[in-house]
A and B are shown apart, each in its own frame.
Chain A
Amino acid sequence: MASKGHIQDGHFGLRVYIVFGLVTLLTFILCVSVGSVAVPPDETVSLIFKAITGAELPRSSAASIIISSRVPRVLCVALTGAALSLSGAAMQGLLKNPLADGSTLGVSSGASLGAVLAIALGLEFAALPFAGTMVTAVVFAFVSLLAILSLAWRMDRSLSTNTIILIGVIYSMFVSSLLALIVTFASDKVKTITFWTMGSLAGSSYANALVLLGALLVGGSIILSKARELNAFAVGEENAVHIGVNVRRVRLTVLAAVALLTGVCVSIGGCIAFVGLVAPHMVRMITGPNHARLLPASAFGGATFLMLCDLVARIILNPLQLPIGVVTSLIGATLFVVILYRGRKKAL
């Protein structure tokens, strides 16, 4: 029976990851092909293949749109989706709460405050164009996490849904007022600052994608290596202590990884809300709550989800483009209410 469970796990891994990977890849090709200038998928694939192998690209407008504009954008969208979803899944395990996420807790807002502050103060390193905003965003994300959780902890040790939502709302409002204050003093940068609060990945570059990939590799492997510990937290923190988990160390490590991922994502794409809530929730229905399966699947799921949201944002009001955050928030807020409603009904 026990070994049967293991084999099932093994089978699960192989089959499901192949499906998740394929779906993500197909979504990528679809999202690169569709747009104001539609390119047939087979042509898209051959163009990407040529670009990778270094073969000469045809001098068509389609080729230039695909390679220099859409591929980097969709890549950034996919990586951001994976990073935000992985962070969300980790937070939901750590806090034993399916509603915990960078956006509901106010961590993304905190990170955007950091990024905006860097712009307003002109914090830029000459050699690295976006390092200033990125570093402050990561630091602010981490500080926000610590502030929010220690406040929540003091109010309610069980970290119930009510407390988490309340603290998240209060913190987000606090950050919005600070952002408004900065806008008042740095009115010449209003447009750049608004970008961070809306969230957009239009105009992303390959350099952005590379930075996101780096952050995902570092933050992602830290989170994945803590899958067992996150299972223990998701069962219950006190139980985690009893079975020998070093809860303080694991909590700090996971929070640091979440801050890194959230901070880097926000500094490149702004506040894209609810991705970390929606994607893991849907993935959990397929994989179950075991983090060894949930975490990698959430990364794929988040990438696919955000690519599709970006596609909708691009084409639904063509030629007008919606900010991607509008689409994710519309879906996310609805799902948030559904989870909350179901949870309440169960409690009653």
Chain B
Amino acid sequence: MISETDSTLLNVTGLTVQFGGRCVVHDVSFSVAEGSWLMLVGPNGAGKSTIVNAISQTVPHEGSVTWCGQDVRSMKPRERARIMGVLAQGNSVGYSFTVDEVVRLGRYAHRPSLFARTQNSDRSYVDAEEKAIEEAIEQTGLTDLRSKSVLELSGGELQRVFLAQALAQQPSLLLLDEPTNHLDLLYQRQTFELLDHWLKAPGHAIISVVHDLSLAYAFGSGVILLHNGQIMGKGPASEVLTPDLLEQVYGMDVQAWMRSLLQHWC
């Protein structure tokens, strides 16, 4: 999945991001194939979120990002949104929109333009819209909260609302920045299982930032370990998350720490 093959969907080459003259991501290259889940791991400030933001074009960058050979930067915003769904970190809403209204916004890019609208396209659009919203809300367990104001939700519930919005967007690639942030263990598990299932549909791929290396092991088809904006290792989790490399990046014996935590359970 890390190297380019026929089934490659996303290709990132020489990605460099600078903030105020400081290089946050330096010359990062990788590709993502159909059906694969790429995990971006590394300590705080390693550049994981910045890579996600650069791919989704919310921060200016150097280097190229292509989707099936097409330059993502030159795509129109709607076109890009039909390909990529993004779950960002730290979402907050200022007004009391309902859960349904926020999820419904995910359909924005699919709405036929005012000029191309016919009665038929309108009807099929409405059907597709309702189906996508219905599914996204059900899958994320928000059915009971649907008409509730987002201002009354907990952090975890809000996180699920934005995940539902990204799913309702029906993208081919999901970019998830700490998708299980704020989620309790049950929802963490359900979310990862849901995403794993979503990935099985043809033409889908996921890139996600995770802190929990066990999740990267369990669900990732490939891992990129980042440190100070540079790639320290990429490939299958078993090859990248080696004791030496982890020690070098995190400055601690990660596996020993994990084991000592688990010992309490035995």
Contacts and interface: CB of A to CB of B under 8 A. Distances in A.
A228 B108 contact: yes
Nearest to A244: B81
B159 interface: no
Given A3-B130, A238-B58, A238-B88, A244 B109 contact: yes
Contact of B91 (A236, A241, A243): A236
B178 interface: no
B221 interface: no
Contacts of B109: 243-244
B96 A288 contact: yes
Contacts of B85: 242
A289 B165 contact: no
B97 A244 contact: no
A136 interface: no
A236 B130 contact: no
A241 B57 contact: yes
B141 to A, nearest CB: 14
B80 interface: yes
A234 B92 CA distance: 10
A231 B105 contact: yes
A243 B105 contact: yes
A290 B97 contact: yes
Q: Which of A1, A3, A228 has the most CB of B within 10 A?
A: A1
A290 B81 CA distance: 22
A242 B81 contact: yes
A79 B166 CA distance: 40
B70 to A, nearest CB: 16
A234 B94 contact: yes
Nearest to B150: A235
The 6 closest A-B pairs by CB, nearest first: A244-B81, A244-B109, A289-B95, A242-B86, A244-B78, A96-B94
Interface of A: 1-3, 5, 96-98, 228, 231-232, 234-236, 238-239, 241-247, 284, 288-290
27 contacts: A1-B143, A2-B130, A2-B134, A97-B94, A98-B94, A228-B105, A228-B108, A231-B97, A231-B105, A234-B93, A234-B95, A234-B97, A235-B94, A239-B88, A239-B91, A239-B162, A241-B77, A242-B88, A243-B106, A243-B108, A244-B79, A244-B81, A244-B108, A244-B109, A246-B76, A246-B77, A284-B95
